[in-house]
Structure 1
Amino acid sequence: MGYLRNDHLVTVDDLENLKEELLVNMRQIFAGRSEQPVKKWLKASEARKLLGFSPGKLQVVRDSGLLTFSKIGGNIYYDRDDLMALFEKSKVAKK
């Protein structure tokens, strides 16, 4: 699409060409991006953020055995699949 002046009319074909150019450019931009892989193991702070839990609430859930974890050194890690399973187990069916 060439340069347009204020006194030029824009046709439907012009708009279609512009749309195609934009789509091609967007595809090129997004093709160059690499998606961040989803982390399997989350630190406690990341798990709290994902669940919306306070530190105390996460501790209570962990101590009750509802949520498994791994402790390496002083850090506690949670499996993302286990966090999602906690919600699946806790679903309440609508009556």
Structure 2
Amino acid sequence: MQIEILTWEDLQRFRKELIEDINAIVKPGDLKTGGDWLRSAEVRKLLKISPGTLQNLRINGALPFQKIGSIMYYAHSDIVKLLDKIGRG
């Protein structure tokens, strides 16, 4: 077994490469922009709806979302669009 000693410069180079790799994976525009992101509980409280209704909005595609890990996030702008659509509907 060969032992390698890491230097401070090695760690700095690794850090720089890691940041470049992350930036290549998560490009601006991959996630929808348009303001704040809300979690499911905040959306349910804002819209005064049940968890099942929120799930139906996701399933039907009426409310776009981004899932990061096990948490779902909703763009504030998408919620405003949904409210406008319902108001005109």
Query: 1:48 corresponds to which letter in structure 2?
Result: R
What SS class does the counterpart of residue 90 from structure 1 fall into? helix
Which residue of 43, 46, 53 corresponds with 2:42?
46
In the TM superposition, residue 90 of structure 1 has moved relative to its aligned partner by 1.4
Q: Structure 1: which 5+ residue stretches go unaligned? A: 1-38
CA deviation profile, 1:60-93 (whole Å, cap 9, x unmatched)? 0110000100000000000011011101011247
Runs of 4+ in structure 1 deviating by more than 4 angstroms, as ranges, are: none
Q: Distance in 2 between matches of 1:45 and 1:83?
A: 13
Q: Distance in 1 between matches of 2:88 and 2:68?
A: 34
Q: Distance in 2 between matches of 1:46 and 1:92?
A: 24
2:68 is the alignment partner of 1:72: yes
Structure with greater helix percent = 2
Q: TM-score of the superposition, structure 2-length normalised?
A: 0.58
Q: TM-score of the superposition, structure 1-length normalised?
A: 0.54
Question: Over the residues paired in the alignment, what is the CA RMSD in angstroms?
Answer: 1.5
Q: How many residues align?
A: 55
Query: 2:71 corresponds to which letter in structure 1?
Result: N
Q: Structure 2: which 5+ residue stretches go unaligned? A: 1-34
Give the structure, 1 or 2, with the largest relative contact order (CA under 8 Å, sep 6 or more).
2
Identical aligned pairs, as a percentage? 44
